[in-house]
Amino acid sequence: MSRTKFNFNNAQVEQIIEEGMIYMCACPAQVAQTILALRQLDDYQQSCLNDSNNDQRVHQRISEAAMSAHAIMEQCMEDVLRIENWDRDTLKMPEGLRKRQLKEI
């Protein structure tokens, strides 16, 4: 999937997952996990495309669908971070949301 520019690199996606797990806020983490899974799916399809024994149309179509879904989920992540007021530079959950999540634990 290196042929595409991502809004979030893998380290940033993993940071969001970590923040979500620490503060028991699974929804942003689930979106982040989906982004990583779509990247893995596309990477696998790229390896299948390199094998001339495979029907290229099948793997190209799966790759295209994965990329489309990936773009949608990255935009979703951008929207969620904006709505919840996450720090976009550090990808830290906002203090108010942290406190609310900790209180519910």
Average pLDDT over the chain, rounded to an integer: 90
Q: What is the spatial distance between Cα 62 and Cα 91, in angstroms, rounded to a whole number?
A: 30
- Given a cut of 60, whether residue 102 has pLDDT beyond it is yes
In 3D space, the residue among 45, 30, 43, 39 whose CA is nearest the CA of residue 10 turns out to be 39
pLDDT at 101: 66
Q: What is the spatial distance between Cα 25 and Cα 92, in angstroms, rounded to a whole number?
A: 12
- Given a cut of 70, whether residue 36 has pLDDT beyond it is yes
Q: What is the spatial distance between Cα 55 and Cα 63, in angstroms, rounded to a whole number?
A: 13
Task: Give me the residue spans of the domains in the chain.
Answer: 10-90
The pLDDT tens digits of the residues spanning 10-34 come to 999 999 999 988 777 789 999 999 9
Percent of the chain with pLDDT over 90: 71
Instruction: Determine the average pLDDT of the residues in 86-100.
Output: 85
Q: What is the spatial distance between Cα 100 and Cα 105, in angstroms, rounded to a whole number?
A: 9
- Given a cut of 60, whether residue 5 has pLDDT beyond it is yes
